[in-house]
Amino acid sequence: MAPSPSGPGRLTTHVLDTARGTPAAGLELVLHRLEGGAREAVAEGRTNADGRCDAPLLEGDAFRPGAYELTFFCGPYFDAQGLGLPDPKFLDDVVIRFGISEDRHYHVPLLLSPFGYSTYRGS
């Protein structure tokens, strides 16, 4: 796969708070590329009012095949919601490892509650 600024390859995410039934606004995240035992931060962001980042996490020349790790910092998000969760929280950082192998749109959503989460490859 040759990355192309005009190609369809991009990575996006969307976080929904399933306990409240709303987008998870203000949730911080970081994306790392994993290569040969190294872990390089390649993007970071914060979800907007719709639970999405304002721009793709990867696109253009930055979008390339490989292994990635997307970390969602859920603990501070839960604290900001005033949930009064026990210490330590059941979920704090949620880490999703995934691979990119095609020059396509990869969408990695997170459905989140204080005691569980799920993800899938979306479109």
For 57-99, how does the pLDDT look when each residue is reduced to its tens digit (9 = 90+)?
999 999 999 999 999 999 999 999 999 999 999 999 999 999 9
Share of the chain above pLDDT 70, in %: 94
Q: Class of the 10-119 domain?
A: mainly beta
What does the H/E/C string look like for 22-88? Answer: EECCCCEEEEEEEECCEEEEEEEEECCCCCECCCCCEEHHHCCCEEEEEEEEHHHHHHHCCCCCCCC
Scan for tokens 């192309």, then name that residue. 4
Please check the confidence at residue 4 and state whether its pLDDT lies above 80.
Answer: no
Rounded to 5°, angle at Cα 80 from 76 and 83: 100
Residue 7's pLDDT band, with cuts at 50, 70 and 90, is low
Please check the confidence at residue 116 and state whether its pLDDT lies above 80.
Answer: yes
Predicted pLDDT at 47: 98
**Domain coordinates in residue numbering, the chain:** 10-119
Residue 123's pLDDT band, with cuts at 50, 70 and 90, is confident
Q: What is the pLDDT of residues 50-61, one digit of tens each?
A: 999 999 999 999
